[in-house]
Structure 1
Amino acid sequence: MALCWGGLLVLAALSQALGSLQLSEEHSVPEEWALLHVVQGHIGAGNYSYLRLNHEGRIILHMLSLKGDADLYVSDKTLRPNFDSYKLQSTTCGQDVVVVPGDFLRPVGIGIYGHPSYMESEFEMKVFYDQTALKEGQIERNSYPSDETPGQSQHSQGPEDVMEEEESILWTILIGILKIILEILF
């Protein structure tokens, strides 16, 4: 009985420690970072889910694996980056962070990979826009091409992004179902 109570006390202490860790993690985000999106999802072992980033400027992708281990691959050359074809990556167990430079060609492809060590990985990715680059670039306002004025914005976060995200989830589900059918047949 004492062992059971001791286990409960350790569990309670761990949950408090994790809660304070998550709280301090959210407070560590610089105030110059504007939150653009929060993407949550599940990914099966060995599968990819793809997202498209159209937003201009310096973007920070901050992904946390809530369950399992999801890895992050980013490219401005392909919309379906993977562990063979990428420009930036973060493959840690837990928190993955990738800084997409402002000079990357848009759209940027983002691949989220479910590590095969886990049947399913659950993740939450926060997409931040770094406004410090904007403040530093205000000095260079006269360096814009003649057909673009500083007030113009090429931020396109519309239905295309939502459709791409839904499409990638549907493909992930469809591929999972096909794998199950193939395993049953063969």
Structure 2
Amino acid sequence: MTLSRSALLAVVLLLSQAWSFLSPSEDDDGVPEDWVLLHVVQGHIGAGNYSYLRLNHDGRIVLHMRSLAGDADLYVSDSTLHPSFDVYKLQSATCGQDMVVVPGDFSRPVGIAIYGHPSHRESEFEMRVFYDQGVPQDPFKRSPYPPESGRDGKKPAQAAEEEFQEEESIFWTILIGLLKIVLEILF
């Protein structure tokens, strides 16, 4: 009788393991079925530095980043393409896996910053970008952008002004760099 119970228990255990292996409920990483993988970004970031990405996809987007070495943190904004730990709308700054859910009503493009925490000389990361199909899109929802604005929600004059400011900033950076070189040569 004990032999048949242990054999029955072994069969039940094998069947439960086979069922859990074959069931398509979730991925190995715990990713729901209604998330569609759009991109995988891998990289290295030095301590105290930023790496910037731009998100143009519409809808609810899930950014799932894990630090392979060191500690990389995630900052997201729909108002600037260069978010930081001072200027952001969403953030995840854990010592392990970081996850940020970008709502579908954020204006696009969305700025993403990956920050290398100063506690490590270099951080290595892998970020997976998912589109969440589980959130139904309302086809009759009005556009959040005024008709006179562009796709990014900015008026053409405002976009031109931002481009001018970015060019001016680059100009000043180069000029200051050249002045430092001249002063270093003279003194």
TM-score bracket, shorter-length normalisation: 0.5 to 0.7
Q: Which residue of 1 aligns with 2:90?
A: 88
> Equivalent pairs: percent with the same residue?
71
Match of 1:141 in 2: 139
Mapped pair 1:114 → 2:116: yes
Opposite residue 113 of structure 2, the aligned amino acid is G
For residues 79 and 139 of structure 2, what CA distance do their matches in structure 1 show?
Answer: 28
Q: CA deviation at 1:94?
A: 1.1
1:132 to partner: Cα distance? 1.1
Deviation track 1:133-155 (CA, whole Å, cap 9, x = no partner) reads 2xx33xx434456xxxxxxxx9x
Task: Write the distance in 2 (CA, Å) between the matches of 1:25 and 1:89.
Answer: 25
State the Cα deviation string for residues 34-81 of structure 1 (Å, max 9, x = none): 000000000000000000000000000000000000000000000000
| Distance (Å, rounded) in 2 between the aligned partners of 1:31 and 1:25 | 7
Letter in 1 for 2:126: E
In the comparison of the two structures, how many residue pairs are matched? 122
How far 1:26 moved relative to its partner?
Answer: 3.4
Whether 1:127 and 2:125 are equivalent positions in the alignment is: no
Would you say 1:46 and 2:44 are equivalent positions?
no
Which of the numbers 34, 37, 54 marks the counterpart of 1:35?
Answer: 37
Supply the AA of the counterpart residue of 2:75. Answer: Y
Which of 82, 100, 103 is the aligned partner of 1:101? 103
State how 1:18-29 maps to structure 2 within 5 Å: 26-29=28-31
CA distance 1:122–1:58, shift in 2 (3 Å): same
The answer for the alignment partner of 1:163 in structure 2 is none
CA distance in 1: counterparts of 2:113 and 2:139, whole angstroms: 34
How high is the TM-score relative to the length of structure 2?
Answer: 0.61
Residue 141 of structure 1 aligns with an amino acid whose one-letter code is P
Deviation at 1:27, TM superposition (A): 3.9
- Superposition RMSD on alpha carbons, in Å? 2.3
Choose 1 or 2 for highest CA Rg. 2
| Counterpart position of 2:19 | none
The structure, 1 or 2, with the larger RCO (C-alpha pairs under 8 Å, 6+ apart) is 1
Query: Over residues 55-111 of structure 1, what are the superposed CA-to-partner deviations in whole Å (9 max), with x where a residue is unaligned?
Result: 000000000000000000000000000000000000000100000000000000000
Higher percent of residues as helix: 1
TM (norm. structure 1) is 0.61
Cα distance between partner residues in 2 of 1:69 and 1:128: 22
- Structure 1, unaligned runs of 5 or more: 1-23, 146-153, 155-177, 179-184
Q: 2:59 aligns with which of 52, 57, 60?
A: 57
Q: Give distance in 1, aligned partners of 2:141 and 2:68.
A: 43
Question: Structure 1 counterpart of 2:102, which letter?
Answer: V
Per the alignment, residue 70 of structure 1 pairs with 72
**Unaligned ranges ≥5, structure 2:** 1-25, 144-150, 152-176, 178-183
